[in-house]
Amino acid sequence: MYDIIVIGGGPAGLTAALYALRANKSVLVLEKAAFGGQITYSPKVENIPGQAAISGNDFSAALVDQVIELGAELEPAEVTAVRDGGESKTVVTEDGEYTAKAVIIATGAKHRRLGLQNEENLVGRGISFCAVCDGAFYQGKTVGVVGGGNSALQEAILLSELAEKVIIVQNLEYLTGERRLQDFVAQKANIELMLGWVVKEYKGESELEGIVAESISGEKREIPLDGLFVAIGLEPQNSAFENVMALDGYGYAVSDESCVTKTAGIFVAGDCRTKKIRQVTTAAADGAVAALAACDYIDGR
């Protein structure tokens, strides 16, 4: 029986573990992929307080080392279900079951990929999902943005202040983002629209060199690019937990800044919950809030 089981080993989950450990709680962290989360794909991170610049991998490694030093147990395992037993919670994985007094769900939200060959290898090597995080690397260069919704248009507008040229590639013949954002895009002389085009191929083996796109009429174009920002939505990883926490229409856990769920003793933190801003700092903040709430729950406060 652990005091707290944390599901998800990204910044939210690891920060939750850190705060729980400092409160003298026993903690198990379960992660189905790589400990550290999606930030490990970022070659350079410049928006973490106290760090002028650090690679996402180095940041994650330091956070992992910190929680291990404090006594956390880390296990690679995919969680398939959580059962509420009142004073105890059962976390079911493909390899077995664990019990705890409280559970913190911090499974994050995965950026949707295009599903093209060599995509995973090029993430962090020209393919990015966050202009706020990585836009500065493309000062004076040519970049592409895939998508036509609010997120894609916001990315393109931000990038237009940094890059020499921004090309928006949208599979529909029209943009789907808010009219206000479309108007901003129309005012930017260095933003080019490719409406009715689909990215079919990435060029480059170890680093992105460009894309091959195809129009709805069958025309193909090879477009050299220094970087490509994929903004076609997020996929929260919450389907296994809908019995213990309410989900909104997009699959995000319904919770506010308190990080509580509909089930006593089960908390949620980070990008997998309903929130406006999804950044490493807000994920870490959620982790702290959820951990302290879980400690209060265990201690009966």
**Active-site choice (133, 259, 272, 295):** 133
State in Å, rounded, how far the first CA of the chain is from the last one: 20
pLDDT at 234: 82
Listed by start position, the domains of the chain span 2-110+234-299, 113-230
CATH topology of domain 2-110+234-299: FAD/NAD(P)-binding domain (3.50.50)
Is residue 259 flagged as an active site residue?
no
Mean pLDDT of 186-208: 97
- How does pLDDT run across 93-152, given as a tens digit for each residue? 998 999 999 999 999 988 889 999 999 999 989 999 988 788 999 999 999 999 999 889
Query: DSSP assignment, residue 255?
Result: -
pLDDT at 111: 84
**CA-to-CA distance for 211 and 145, rounded, in angstroms?**
11
Contact yes or no for 145/229 (Cβ under 8 A): yes
Contact yes or no for 171/147 (Cβ under 8 A): no
Residue found under tokens 């894609």: 152
* Pure H helices in 70-207: 119-122, 131-134, 150-160, 179-187
Is residue 295 flagged as an active site residue?
no
pLDDT at 184: 94
**Active-site choice (134, 226, 271, 286):** 134
pLDDT at 43: 67
- How does pLDDT run across 130-146, given as a tens digit for each residue? 887 889 999 999 999 99
110 burial class (0-12, 13-18, 19+ CB within 10 angstroms)?
A: middle
Contact yes or no for 1/99 (Cβ under 8 A): yes
**Residues facing residue 234 across a β-bridge:** 111
pLDDT at 34: 85
Note the CATH architecture for domain 113-230.
3-Layer(bba) Sandwich (3.50)
Mean pLDDT of 14-27: 98
**CA-to-CA distance for 111 and 118, rounded, in angstroms?**
16
**Active-site choice (58, 65, 84, 130):** 130
Mean pLDDT of 65-88: 96
* 44-58, 76-90, 171-185: range with lowest mean pLDDT: 44-58
Q: Is 219 a residue whose pLDDT tops 80?
A: yes
**CA-to-CA distance for 13 and 36, rounded, in angstroms?**
9
- How does pLDDT run across 249-297, given as a tens digit for each residue? 999 999 999 999 999 999 999 999 999 888 899 999 999 999 999 999 9
Is residue 134 flagged as an active site residue?
yes
pLDDT at 205: 93
